[in-house]
Amino acid sequence: MGEYGKPLPRGEGYHGDFYRFCKQHELRFQRCADCQAWRHPPRECCPHCGAFAWRWEQVSGKGQVYSWTVVQRALHPAFAEDVPYAVVIVELAEGVRLVSRVLDLPPQELRLGLPVEVVFVDVTPEVTLPMFRPCR
Ligand SMILES: [Zn+2]
């Protein structure tokens, strides 16, 4: 044991850039340089106004639980010891949403609008995943 056997993000393209910022413990999302809309997952052009100009911008890391589903049966063997666990959509204070996990909280205690903050989990020496925990 000790091996992180779960699937890992690929370090390619804009997704690779996103996770390289996570490695530095910075949560950054693309933000349109024209209409200022945030977006995720990363893509070439703004889904709101169609502009191609954008920049990576850091967010506060504070947000709230937007939605979730509870996984009762692991679909990948590496998740077997985690069940039941919640896959959570967190809406950051800036309005952009991210699929993640909320740590330190049993799934049955999740609530819509629950305030959460980002925590960076170094799952391997190369990969850091952004997860969340309830605000204290
Ligand atoms: Zn835009």
Looking at the DSSP assignment, which residues form a beta bridge with residue 115?
64
Name 118's bridge partners: 132
CA 50 to ligand 1 centroid distance, Å: 6
CA of 33 to the centre of ligand 1 (A): 7
User: pLDDT tens, 92-136?
Assistant: 999 999 999 999 999 999 999 999 999 999 999 999 999 999 998
In angstroms, the CA 24 to CA 28 distance is: 10
Residue 52 CA to ligand 1 centre (angstroms): 8
Dist. CA 87–CA 70, nearest whole Å: 6
Which of the four pLDDT bands, split at 50, 70 and 90, describes residue 2? low
pLDDT in tens, 58-97: 999 999 999 999 999 999 999 999 999 999 999 999 999 9
Dist. CA 45 → ligand 1 center (Å): 8
How far does residue 54's CA lie from ligand 1's centre (Å)?
8
112 is written with which tokens? 């819509």
Whole-number average pLDDT of the chain: 96
pTM of the model: 0.93
Ion ligand 1, residue ranges at CB < 5 A: 32, 34-35, 37, 46, 48-49, 51
- C-alpha distances out from residue 87 to 32, 36, 67, 76, Å: 27, 28, 9, 14
Map 18-83 to HEC letters: HHHHHHCCCCEEEEECCCCCEECCCCCCCCCCCCCCEEEEECCCEEEEEEEEEECCCCCHHHHHHC
The Å distance, Cα 53 to ligand 1 centre, comes to: 8
